[in-house]
Amino acid sequence: MLPKKDLEAVHRQDIKALLETWGLLADFEAGKIKCRFCGDVISEHNFGAIFSENKQIFFACSKLDCLAKLPKQK
């Protein structure tokens, strides 16, 4: 059997709870969170991914074009 590698994921139903844990829900609801790649405001409807680089949190919108630019996971 092949070894498996994790694809870390968050379910759509848990997004708001996660952002609340990180204290980012207010910013999210105020439209202050933007896609790292295209600059679009991220809402519940176009949420693509969250990633961290150099101790900072970034967001990507749901356009696969932007998801394709996500850093490669190790």
What are the b/e assignments for 39-62, b being 16+ CB within 10 Å? Answer: ebebeeeebbbbeeeeeeebbbbb
Q: How far is the CB of 14 from another protein (least distance, A)?
A: 4
- 38 binds another protein, rule: CB under 8 A: no
Alpha carbon distance 8, 29 (integer Å): 24
- Of 9 and 30, the one with the shorter C-beta distance to another protein is 9
Find the binder of another protein among 29, 32, 43, 65 (CB under 8 A). 65
| Residue 45, both tokens | 């409807």
Binding residues vs another protein (CB under 8 A): 2-15, 17-18, 20-23, 47-57, 62-65, 67-68, 70-74
